[in-house]
Structure 1
Amino acid sequence: MGGGRARPGRPDTSAALAADAYVYGSPLVRQLSAVRACLREGCGGLGPAPFNDFAHAAGPATPGTDVPSAASDAVAALAQLDLSGGPVRLHVPDTGGAYYVLQFVDAWTNAFAYIGRRATGTGEGDWLVVPPGWSGTVPDQVSGVIDAPTSVVSVVGRIACDGPADLPRVRALQQEFTLTHLGDRAHRTGLPAPDPAVPAALRFFEQLRMWMADFPAADADRAYEDRFQPLGLLEEGVSPYVSASPGLVRTLTRGLWLGRARVAEAARPAEGTGRAPGSWAMHPHLFDYNLDRTGVGTLASPEWKIPDRESSYLVRAIAARQELWGAHGYEMVCAQTYRDARGHRLDGAHRYALRFRRPPPVDGFWSVTMYDTPGHRLVANEADRYAIGDRTPGLVHDADGSLTLYLGAERPTDPAQAANWLPAPLGGFRPVIRLYQPGQAALDGGYVLPPVERIR
């Protein structure tokens, strides 16, 4: 992947500079646009909630959730924090060893802290989330302090759920995740809105200009931002885009197109990678662009950081485009495939076997979730089963201890196979394996996920 600067041999034209600005700034705009949507109408299948309050899902995702790639092995929780009025106190319950995670994401999409089973354990506790530059007194009986890099933060929660019988436990826990505003002044009720007089074609750059000023990037990124002065992105006060010159409008609209194309091209899966047919695609380092903002529960070692800063901007833009609020690979990693072991597209009209001679190495749990294509949504089925994994009751292991799962639209007639059946839709499908607290072998390639074998 290339970085944000113009390619060698290409003149650094104003349009190329605007494309660099898009690559650099699109994560900020995507993140804060998502925050605003969560405040107003909800997002990801969750209803709206004001700043400093949790929104909880009623249960694991189902086809009624109608969200692409929604997880059906955990219950979602989401909170948008505003720290402009001061700190917020977070209370977490004792989950009795059961997996959960609260992931903290700043305005630039950096996952900068984690609370939960891997990072801090599953005991009850209180955490103080403080705004940038805060120097107040930490209350007694606080487990620790989470230093937020920006005054607006997304808290993305996942609470493991073992199925319908486990929902009462999860719902009781949901009531115990609480946020209390401790600041000495009122916090925001919304985000700064762009000037409505700015033409729609320049709205992205107006949002970027505004939000760059309100939510400053890491100090190490500021010099790169200085390059965007000719584009008006560093102007304060009245927007330069309300009455922009025709030349600037052309530059910015062309740059917007070029920037989007650059990110889309970089995000496209590479052909001819040498992988075996049916291999699972997994990207445990997609979120390694956080180079400066590492706090509670994060790993700051070099293997979890992209070595080149400008390259990290493009990776960050890809991650924001494909999987906003995704976690670092050491917390959770996803793998997906569209093809069987012979390289043919997966189709629910056929039957398939997925045999794990050894279970995926995890310290948390693992699951396989079924989605249709191209929509990547859960599909209703007669068994009401959308995911299967190491917590699924009644699975039948083979005589040698291995586990074979059966994928297809038709329920197997053999009772043992039916117990291990993951229903697929008629037509194309995409299974996704999620590994929570993956072991090192899953991350470094020492353990290889088995391909899906067509058996009929």
Structure 2
Amino acid sequence: MSGGRGGRERDGTAALAAEAYVYGSPLVLALSAVEACLQEGFGVLAPTPFNSFAHAARPAVPADNVANAAVDTVDAIAQLDLSGGPVRLHVPDTGGAYYALQFVDAWSGTFAYVGRRATGTGEGDWLIVPPGWSGTVPDVVTGVIDAPTSVVSLVGRIACDGPDDMPRVRALQQELTLTHLGAHAHRTGLPAPDSDVPEALRFFERLRVWMADFPPAAADRAYQDRFQPLGLLEEGLSPYVSAGPGLLRALTQGLALGRARVAEACRYRDDAREGADTAPGAWEMNPHLFDHNLDHFGVGTISSPEWRIPDREASYLVRAVAARQALWGPHGYEAVCAHTRSDSRGRLLSGTHSYALRLGRPPPVEGFWSVTVYEVPGNHLVENPADRYAIGDRTPGVVHAADGSLTLYLSRQRPTDPGQAANWLPAPAGDFRAVMRLHTPEQAVLDGSYVIPAVERLDER
């Protein structure tokens, strides 16, 4: 137990360090992911230098061993460095097919979209410019995208109807290009933290270095001034190389407190699910998890109050939760994920039983929807003999009832009835969860007036 003035000061410094963790962890997580994309690769994507696309070779399969992998889109990711000047993005004509390119700044805030919902599916060229740029815009570009930071993550999702659709997707990948137009060479890596900083303080060192190189919006800069006593605003030599024992202890405690605060916020919705007002088997989704960007609304974004968190300081915790749970996830108006782990009576979903998902009307979307199942707790795809890992409105051969309703069957064993077999989504042997992805959801999804029916158990073994 700490005592006296020194103890109170350490406690105050630790509390401030916890605030700094909540505020800064999205920056550190996002730029650490940028580094991984440049140096090691990201998921199934190979390492790729700045201003070049990394493309997945196919939709995800179980062998990829990627948690929560989407199987009806093909990933395309590029890390942009605008320190040397603008970059031109060329997009091909997709002939009406869904795709989305999402622009995310270094602080994990999405500030622009290009794609079917945002800009249509025609061919075009977009000029992505760095903060404060005042050059001449070429006449040939479709539009300008102003980046809030000089490093931007460009996250692409191209709809794919399966292996037979990959030749079309590959053709689009070849036409999706980036061209560096700057007068100066772009960077080959991110600013490097001091390697002599001890491991216990490396989070704060990364935050210090990257916060200086990628300043946030003006309102956030005013907030981060409070972190001066932590050394986070120091320039030049790192204050953490030879930090005294008091500062080391306070920062270490603050790091643990901050992590615990974010972890507790992540658990909050799971705990709330246990409340009496939640129906058994209800599907969970949060279309407003990525509303933390309050300052930069570019091409394809919606800046109305509905899509902005009203309290700036509250937005920092939401941003930290979003970065931890689903880094680079899109706004709800672009796509949402709903998920459930239980049936209509609140029992956990398990491959030892058979289930039905009865959709009286299709989920209201302007893009497309699909359902995937993942084993838990790892949330990975599990190989099945049918080689089917998603089912939805683009799945060939699904059978609708005479009234237009659709019933999907989730089970380990293939149904013997031909109609049910056509609508079968194979489930793993053990516990699993079901995820419904809704691309460009309509308002009924976003405001909750459309309710996804609970999954029903068909047997009582």
Question: Where does structure 2 lack aligned partners over 5 or more consecutive residues?
Answer: 1-9
Q: Pick one of 404, 409, 422 that aligns with 1:406.
A: 409
Task: Using the TM superposition, give the Cα deviation of residue 194 of structure 1 relative to its aligned residue in structure 2, in angstroms.
Answer: 1.2
2:6 — aligned with what? none
Instruction: Summarize the alignment of residues 142-157 of structure 1 with structure 2, pairs less than 5 Å apart.
Output: 142-157=141-156
- How many angstroms apart in 1 are the aligned matches of 2:222 and 2:185? 33
Give distance in 1, aligned partners of 2:417 and 2:192. Answer: 59
Corresponding residue of 1:167: 166
- Structure 2: distance between partners of 1:105 and 1:117: 18
For 2:245, the aligned partner's letter is P
Residue matched to 1:27: 26
Show the counterpart of 1:126.
125
Q: Which residue of 2 aligns with 1:284?
A: 287
Specify the alignment match of 1:270 in structure 2: 271
Aligned to 1:303: 306
Displacement of 1:165: 1.6
For residues 179-212 of structure 1, the C-alpha deviation after alignment (integer angstroms, 9 at most, x for no partner) is 0000001000011121111000000000000000
What is the one-letter code of the residue matched to 2:143?
G
Equivalence for 1:294: 297
CA contact (8 A) 2:292 2:308 kept: yes
Q: Distance in 1 between matches of 2:218 and 2:63?
A: 44
- Show the counterpart of 2:384: 381
Structure 2 contact 11–250 (Cα < 8 Å) conserved: no
Residue type at the aligned position of 1:172? A
Partners of 1:358 and 1:331 in 2: CA distance? 21
Which residues in structure 2 correspond to 1:76-95 (within 5 Å)?
76-95=75-94
Q: Extract structure 1 runs of 4+ deviating beyond 4 A.
A: none
Alignment of 1:38-187 (within 5 A): 38-187=37-186
Residue equivalent to 1:427: 430
Shift, 1:12, TM fit: 7.4
Q: Deviations over 1:108-143 (max 9, x none)?
A: 000000000000000000000000000000112100
* Secondary structure at 2:152 match in 1: strand
TM-score between the two structures when normalised by the length of structure 1: 0.97
CA distance in 2, matches of 1:187, 1:366: 39
Paired residues in the alignment total 447
CA–CA separation in structure 1 for the residues paired with 2:44 and 2:290: 23
Residues 231-280 of structure 1 deviation map (CA, whole Å, 9 limit, x = unaligned): 00000000000000100000100000000000000110233442100000
Unaligned runs of 5+ in 1: 1-10
Deviates more, 1:57-66 or 1:203-212: 57-66
Structure with the bigger percentage of helix: 2
2:453 equivalent in structure 1: 450
Shift of 1:44: 2.3
Contact persistence 2:334–2:440 (CA under 8 A): yes
2:358 corresponds to: 355
State the one-letter code of the partner of 2:144.
V
CA distance in 1, matches of 2:296, 2:65: 33
Q: Aligned partners of 2:337, 2:212: CA distance in 1, in Å?
A: 34
Aligned-partner SS, 1:195: coil
Q: TM-score, normalised by structure 2?
A: 0.96
SS class of match (1:282): coil
What's the counterpart of residue 8 of structure 1? none
2: CA distance between counterparts of 1:378 and 1:113? 31
Shift, 1:45, TM fit: 1.6
